[in-house]
Structure 1
Amino acid sequence: MDSQLKIIEFNKTAEEMFGWKASEILDLRLKDLLPINSKDNHDDVARNFMHTHTGTHRFVLDRTVEARHRDGHLFKVRISLSRVILDTGPVVMAIIRDVYEIERMNSRLLELSRDLQKQTRAAEEANEAKSQFLATMSHELRTPLNAIIGFSQMIEEEVFGPVGHEKYKGYVGDIHKSGQHLLSLINDVLDLSRLEHGEDSLTMEPVDLRPAIAKALIQMRPLAIQKKLRLRIKIDRDLAPIQGNRRAIHQILLNLLSNAIKFSAKGKRILVSAKREDANHITLSVEDQAVAFRNIKLPCLAGPFNGLKKTATMPMKTVWALALPFANASPTIWAVLL
């Protein structure tokens, strides 16, 4: 508004709020946007504000009043009057905000805040329930596992007499080792639960990959024998121990070997290799001769509970390479499944 309180600028938001076009409202007064019973009062306040503050400093006056839309309905607005000195003289800038919109937005923010609090509580309860479930299940599983491990060890050591056939003794040894590994996995579940609560950390230690690979192959050998698969090892001579978590490395090898055996046809070959790429990197890979996959989202394969459909296959000559970064190990290890 100019010094006579005539409207000289009217932006798009004002057009939407009051229903007037700028071309229609120019040269009218701000009081023309107010109800009849408050026009004079507001006009007096604005005129007094304009002529009282005659200095070069900027002054602001805030008021909450009723405004009138072009169609006649009334709505509350918050008007902030600000006196500004331009080259052409003093003007008054009125910043008008719809009180209803402000209240609606505040109400919506409050509603969103309440929803967030509910979701946070639900997530905390679900996390607590998960931790309780893991603790309970781990306890229930360890009880029979300890019995399996104990009895298989007694048979392996032939406490009550010879087993008989030599292969049975080897199988009992495999049962004992598998039971120990499963018990170790259950302990890992508890470790992860404690990690989530900041109660524990992974144990890092030097790990020699040679015995680690041999142990995994021995454990998976019965499954390979059933499918008449050939297991082969290729390890660099100068391979130094890595710094990592022993159980995690063992589990990665078992997972990769299990998949290789699962998707390999009878009579095929599975190669487990470990080689040094440079001073800081070692490549640990499990390579099979199974069919590969197409039309898949590679990132999904590294996530939990994701399977592969048998229909998504293609010839081995166009094989995909899936790299799974092995965390918590230094030097960096990449487990590559071909």
Structure 2
Amino acid sequence: MANIGDAVGRHVHPDVRAEPIDAAVHRHFLTSRVLLSLGSLALAPLCLVGAAPAAWEAAALAWLVVPFGAALLVSRTGNLRAGEALSLLVWLGLGATLTLGAGSAFGLALLLMVPVEAAAASSAAVGAVAIVAAALLALGAALLSRFGQAGAAPGLSALGVAALLAALAYGGALATAAARTAQRRRAEERGARLRHSDLADAIDDVVLQFDRSGAAAAVGGAASVGGASQRLFCLPPQALLGRGFFERLHVADRPVFLKLVADTVSEGRGGTATMRLRTGRTLPSRRGDFDEPVFAVVDLSLRRRDVDAVDGAGARPVALGLLRDVSARAEQERLAAAAQDTQDRTHAGRDIFLANVSHELRTPLNAIIGFAEMLSNEALVPADPAKRRDYAAIIHESGLHLLAVVNGILDASKIESGAFDIRPEAFGLDELVAHCCDMVGLKADQTGVRLDQSVTPGALALVGDKRACKQIILNLLSNALKFTPAGGRVAIEARPEGNSVLIAVSDTGVGIAARDLPRLGDPFFQARANYDRPNDGTGLGLSVVRGLVGLHGGSIAIESAPGQGTRVSVRLPSDCRRAAPNAAGVTKIETISSYSSGTGHDGVPSGGRMQKFA
């Protein structure tokens, strides 16, 4: 019987499957009518034994098959009232067939099934009409028998008819009361579901209950989840019911969910877990060839609850859950963490800045103060004029160094605050590169580093801020010379590339470790920075270059490996007036950390892993 009930239950109309009580009523109706019709068909072969069946026998068998049609009608349309009316008609027709066709009083006794059937009907009006029809049929059969009409049940006494009518009246009263009670109960349950739905909409959360396997069901019917699930996750209510909720969880969060449900149902401990739920929203991928799903961050809080089984098998434990969308909170926490990380990096940068600036300022200031004191003290001033000129030259060079440090700090501050304005003008990049190489040529000769140029004369017309471009080239050349030991090589290359110009500075110096690549371009950061570092510098050079390139709408790429040199490639638009400038803080630096031993034409390793850092 259980197997038959499950098989028939799969044919319940889809409109009522989401409502547990209505689905159970429909399932019981379908099961009882199908079993009645199958039993009648099983008895059909008995009619073939002996003589041919009479017309009334065939009609009675036909009436017993009609309940299958009622079940089919309810399964296809979901109209339970029409199916119940057809079932009541079966008993009326069967009673009339046996009474009038066979002349048997048993047919009138079957009319007592009408109030029994009406008691289980969902509509009191349909049951009342059927009971009145049964009473009229009994009264008509009695009158026909009284006047000796052929085919009517013989021997019906007035007392028997009165008793039958009384039984029908009493049964009708009971059936009407039972139907009205059932209607009132269903109305109260419907009202409770509506109140639950309104409450769920008011709290803007989704309420679900889960069985031991993790299958979800709506506490107040599918309507109670409809508005919230559509509003929060762009999902119809059916998408979260059954195994839908589990299948929409992120794969990494499913074990957490199953353990939470098992602990809640089995041990009653309950709890809350934060998980990721795939919503009905999508976003185009970066490549644009498919849509990426959007996951919402949700909090699922579970508590144990004992509910009565619909099939009357007793109470069973379930996990009652409240599903809340916390994507906004998760985003705020992410932003707060990012802000804290930025703040920590700023504090670290400030400490490095103080250490670097104190180092950069102390040395030239000591030289300026010391040699100025010697020149101003007649007892200490050297008698040799050449010595005095050397002391004055040292004071001059120290002052220029201090001025360069201060200018670098001011430029970095202006770029970061957005106060650095570029003034576009047309100029030849080949002449600017040659001029910059002449300016750093003396330092290259002093440090024993070879400086090479590869520029096409007269072919590089550029519209941009000439002073800013000069600063870009000088900073790149100065950095390359600073970190390249004696006997090494620094090369600068400039060539057109479509609507842009490539400026590349490469060296055979110490290179940059992979751990330092993400921080390149940060103000006051210097790779392998420490207080006793062998290379001077504030770490502002590349930060200024990055800002100036961003103001021109260009890009930077850095390729490096420890001990294998560095190559910095800057691409600037041929006319910066037509390019959209980037804010200095969001200009991307492409970095390539090379691990192979092979090197390119400029001595810098080729191949590796590329990343982008803001």
Q: Which has the higher contact order (CA 8 A, sep 6+)?
A: 1
Larger Rg: 2
Greater helix fraction, Structure 1 or Structure 2: 2
Bigger fraction of residues in strand: 1
TM-score, length of structure 1 as denominator length: 0.48
